[in-house]
């Protein structure tokens, strides 16, 4: 994709801004958005609410398939799926398109373009505020997409080795014709955190919270993303700090005891479409997974399903048994049943982030308070846990994360960081037609190969698997 193609796409999704949106010049590189309204429209596009973690969903152990035939047919248009599902070493087909990579860099290009809003001089207070919203959103989206790519194509972050491990091509401009080599992993995370801290400063200094709009990022979204990233990095003090910042401003939880509705199939839900009127949504994103995970093929990991207590309403409200006998997950905040999955930020996740940080620092009473607060809104007739009920607080929190964040794209990320740390290692295992496949904690397959189209350009070194 070059600049001209990028602007054509922008023109298509921002056409509602009016004919004045593009100032068409003779040279392609001079085709640019003109007004703050134009830049704001770029950052308000629905494409930015899609997340790049399809590969992480496919590779996670939250589900299995019914047969080899399911695997073959489900991988027809994405051949890499059949290898990722079994955690095999094989790479991509020569011309295979990796949408996680392509769309993430497309969103990064939009964010890079939106940075140019700073060149436009606002003429009213309203325009000034909208400009600030764009400046914050551009940094947030660039950081979020680089972070997601890092979970797929880089090793888990280790501060002791990050300067020696490979990162990603760091595109900070919207000209996609320019080729870049891979940064170090440390350089990548430095850039991610730089964007977040700049976005935080904009939000704090100018009160850019966007009215807690879950579809356009404000200060709350920035702080929630920072908490998630610092947790992944193993910086529990910072992860707790940012979870605290969010929870001081927003702490409502949806009560599963009050969920009502008529579930008639795998595409129905107890939740409103696109997270509407959900009191605990901080920022809404969604992942539409590939054909390998359609309801007719999807089989919920039976062990995970049985780990839910009978009084846990996440079990009753979150799963549906099809007529064919397989159980699918319909509990996503996306409200589309088993067709797409919420991957954004919620109050529940922030409580779990903080609880884990408390547990790891020895503040078990505070950790348990957060767990009880969450579970009280998830259980029928909940009986509060006491300290005498818990042998290992961190282990309890991690189990609660697995339940609360089921099918949010977090299982892959959590397993990677836990394996890097080593105290609570995670291995993945699934059985298909009598054969068992395992992904061990020390395997090299906790990251994916780079797309062949990128390697063909000649400057990028592939991951070793």
> Is residue 317 one of the residues assigned to a domain?
no
Structure-token pair, residue 396: 């309890």
In a domain, 221, yes or no: yes
| Phi, psi of 119, deg, nearest 5 | -80, -15
Dihedral over Cα of 252, 256, 259, 262: its sign: positive
Read off the CATH number of the domain in which 94 is found.
1.25.40.390
| Closest by Cα among 166, 156, 283 to 232 | 156
Q: Give the separation between CA 49 and CA 43, rounded to whole angstroms.
A: 10
Under a CB-based contact definition with an 8 Å cutoff, are residues 112 and 142 in contact? Answer: yes
Q: Tell me, what's the pLDDT at 20? A: 38
Beta-strand (E) ranges in 373-444? Answer: 428-432, 435-439
Cβ(282)–Cβ(246) under 8 Å?
yes
Tell me, yes or no, whether 138 lies in a domain. yes
Rg (CA), the chain: 22
- Extended beta strands in 99-181, E state: 166-169
Walking along the chain (465 residues) 10 residues at a time, the average pLDDT comes out as 48 43 35 88 96 96 97 93 93 84 95 96 95 97 98 97 97 80 97 98 83 89 98 98 97 97 95 96 94 96 97 98 97 96 98 98 98 98 96 98 98 98 97 96 96 83 90
Note whether residue 422 is domain-resident: yes
State the distance between the two ends of the chain, measured CA to CA, in whole angstroms.
28
H/E element holding 223? helix 219-233
Angle between helices 410-421 and 393-404 (to 10 degrees): 160
Residue pair 131/121 in contact (Cβ under 8 Å)? The answer is: no
Cβ atoms within 10 Å, residue 179: 12
* pLDDT given for residue 24 in this prediction: 32
Q: Which two tokens stand for residue 335?
A: 């409200």
Tokens of 221: 């979204």
- Tell me if 132 is assigned to some domain: yes
Question: In terms of DSSP bridges, do strands 341-342 and 319-321 run parallel, antiparallel, or are they unpaired?
Answer: unpaired
Please tell me the pTM assigned to this model. Answer: 0.93
3-state DSSP assignment of residue 327: strand
Predicted local confidence at residue 18, as pLDDT: 35
Pairing state of beta strands 435-439 and 319-321? unpaired
Decide: 270 and 263 in contact? Cβ < 8 Å. yes
Task: Give residues with Cβ within 8 angstroms of 244, minimum separation 6.
Answer: 354
Q: What is the pLDDT of residue 211?
A: 59
Does 319 reside within a domain? no
Coil vs helix vs strand at 253: coil
The pLDDT of residue 12 is 45
CA distance 287 to 54: 7
Overall domain count for the chain: 1
Quick check: is 90 in a domain?
yes
pLDDT at 290: 84
Q: What is the pLDDT of residue 456?
A: 82
pLDDT given at position 240:
98
Which pair of structure tokens corresponds to residue 151?
């979970």
Any domain includes 349: no
Domain around 171: 35-234+409-443
CA distance 22 to 16: 12
The H-or-E segment that residue 22 falls in is strand 22-23
């Amino acid at each position: 994709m070059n600049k001209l193609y990028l602007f054509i796409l922008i023109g298509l999704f921002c056409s509602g801004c009016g004919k004045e949106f593009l100032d068409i010049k003779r040279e392609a590189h001079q085709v640019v958005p003109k007004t703050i309204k134009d830049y704001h429209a770029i950052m308000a596009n629905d494409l930015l609410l899609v997340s790049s973690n399809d590969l992480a969903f496919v590779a996670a152990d939250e589900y299995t398939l019914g047969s080899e035939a399911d695997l073959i047919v489900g991988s027809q248009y994405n051949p890499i799926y059949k290898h990722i599902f079994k955690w095999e070493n094989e790479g991509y087909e020569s011309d295979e398109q990796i949408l996680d990579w392509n769309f993430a860099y497309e969103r990064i290009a939009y964010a890079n373009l939106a940075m140019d809003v700073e060149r436009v001089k606002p003429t009213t207070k309203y325009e000034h505020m909208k400009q600030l919203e764009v400046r914050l959103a551009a940094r947030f989206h660039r950081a979020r997409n680089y972070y997601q790519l890092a979970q797929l194509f880089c090793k888990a972050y280790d501060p002791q080795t990050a300067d020696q491990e490979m990162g990603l091509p760091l595109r900070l401009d919207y000209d996609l014709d320019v080729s870049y080599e891979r940064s170090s992993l440390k350089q990548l995370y430095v850039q991610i955190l730089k964007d977040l801290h700049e976005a935080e400063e904009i939000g704090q200094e100018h009160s850019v919270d966007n009215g807690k709009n879950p579809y356009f990022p404000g200060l709350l979204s920035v702080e929630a993303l920072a908490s998630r990233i610092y947790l992944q990095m193993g910086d529990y003090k910072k992860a707790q700090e940012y979870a605290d910042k969010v929870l001081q401003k927003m702490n409502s939880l949806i009560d599963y005891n009050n969920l009502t509705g008529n579930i008639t199939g795998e595409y129905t839900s107890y939740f409103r479409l696109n997270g509407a009127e959900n009191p605990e949504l901080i920022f809404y994103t969604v992942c539409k997974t590939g054909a390998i995970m359609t309801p007719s093929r999807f089989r919920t990991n039976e062990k995970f399903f049985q780990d839910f207590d009978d009084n846990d309403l996440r079990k009753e409200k979150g799963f549906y048994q099809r007529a064919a006998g397989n159980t699918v997950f319909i509990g996503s905040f996306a409200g589309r049943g088993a067709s797409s999955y919420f991957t954004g930020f919620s109050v529940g996740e922030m409580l779990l982030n903080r609880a884990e940080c408390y547990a790891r620092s020895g503040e078990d009473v505070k950790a348990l308070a957060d767990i009880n607060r969450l579970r009280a809104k998830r259980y029928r007739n909940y009986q509060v846990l006491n300290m005498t009920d818990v042998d290992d607080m961190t282990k309890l929190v991690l189990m609660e994360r697995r339940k609360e964040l089921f099918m949010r794209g977090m299982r892959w990320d959590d397993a990677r960081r836990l394996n890097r740390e080593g105290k609570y290692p995670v291995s993945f295992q699934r059985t298909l037609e009598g054969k068992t496949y395992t992904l061990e904690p020390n395997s090299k397959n906790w990251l994916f190969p780079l797309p062949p189209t990128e390697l063909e350009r000649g400057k990028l070194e592939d991951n070793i698997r």
